[in-house]
Amino acid sequence: MSLADDGSVATLAFCWRLERRDGVTIGLTSHDRDMEIGGLVYRAAPGMSPGAIREGIGLEAESMDLAGALSSDAISADDLTAGRWDGAALFLYLTQWEASGAMWQLLARGALGAVERRGGSFTVELRGPAAVLDMAVAPVTSPDCRARLGDRQCRVAMAGRRRVVRVEAGSGADVTVTGGGLAPGDYVYGALRWMSGANCGIAQAVIGNDADSIALSDPPPRAVEAGTLAMLSEGCDRQLATCAGRFGNAVNFRGEPWLPGMDLLTRYPGG
């Protein structure tokens, strides 16, 4: 609640809509009561307020300070540490709580970037639409493929290259799966996404695998219990030989393996 220019009371409230990459969507409001707008319930989080929203005409990402956000059960310190909110889409609206939804003013939007915890709150970088202008207009040449396995440039069908596995045991960054049957090396540079248990929704990079075990780039944020399900996706080392021999997809290779590198300038005739 605040005073308008004419001295009357303005019943304004902030509303945050956050959409995680795993599909979880939550709503929070600075009002002291829950509000339902557009089919989404915005839970009361009176201690949550935008400390600073900075926008400009440059190409830098906007930043936002959300003080007191960890007081909400919907955003916990454990989830932030585990990376569940990395890259989540954020929309900040202004509304009137006495007629919620009648005024629905978009103040800021973007994706959550770097998160820095500060005691009971955190500071999050908001990467706004202008951040896409930082991207290169044309792709930079490289001997390795610039596409990701299965994306729109690669076009390899991933339907038969993903499988659900049941974890038998986990120790640090090493995971043993029940039944085995994995093709050794096929999941290197791929990903493992937890489908149940305490790490549900978190994706991790795979750096090695044999028939019945997987090596992750980092240990899971939380302990892994036996019987936990995970989705395992194949990977690619982005080399032309792999693209042609293993995937039969050389026509879509997005790299220049025979383009001379900068070391060409330092070569000289030798004996």
Residue keyed to tokens 């791929």? 190
pLDDT confidence tier of residue 148, bands split at 50, 70 and 90: very high
| Lowest-pLDDT range of 94-103, 175-184, 214-223 | 94-103
pLDDT confidence tier of residue 153, bands split at 50, 70 and 90: very high
CA distance 63 to 71: 21
pTM over 0.75, yes/no:
no
Q: What is the pLDDT of residues 223-259, one digit of tens each?
A: 899 999 999 999 999 999 999 999 999 999 999 998 8
The answer to whether 121 touches 69, Cβ cutoff 8 Å, is: yes
The answer to whether 245 touches 211, Cβ cutoff 8 Å, is: no
Coil, helix or strand for 206? strand
Mean pLDDT of 103-122: 74
Q: What is the pLDDT of residues 195-209, one digit of tens each?
A: 998 888 888 999 999
CA distance 241 to 246: 8
CA distance 25 to 214: 31
Q: What pLDDT shows up at residue 250? A: 95
The answer to whether 134 touches 59, Cβ cutoff 8 Å, is: yes
pLDDT confidence tier of residue 57, bands split at 50, 70 and 90: very low
Does the 2-134 domain belong in CATH 2.30.110? yes
| Lowest-pLDDT range of 77-86, 143-152, 252-261 | 77-86
Q: What is the mean pLDDT of the chain?
A: 80
Looking at the chain, the domain(s) classified CATH 2.40.30 span 159-233
The answer to whether 230 touches 220, Cβ cutoff 8 Å, is: no
pLDDT confidence tier of residue 56, bands split at 50, 70 and 90: very low
Q: Return the structure tokens found at 220.
A: 């899971």
Residue 171: in which H helix or E strand, if any?
strand 162-171
CATH placement of domain 159-233: 2.40.30
Looking at the chain, the domain(s) classified CATH 2.30.110 span 2-134
Backbone angles phi, psi at 241, to 5 degrees: -60, -40
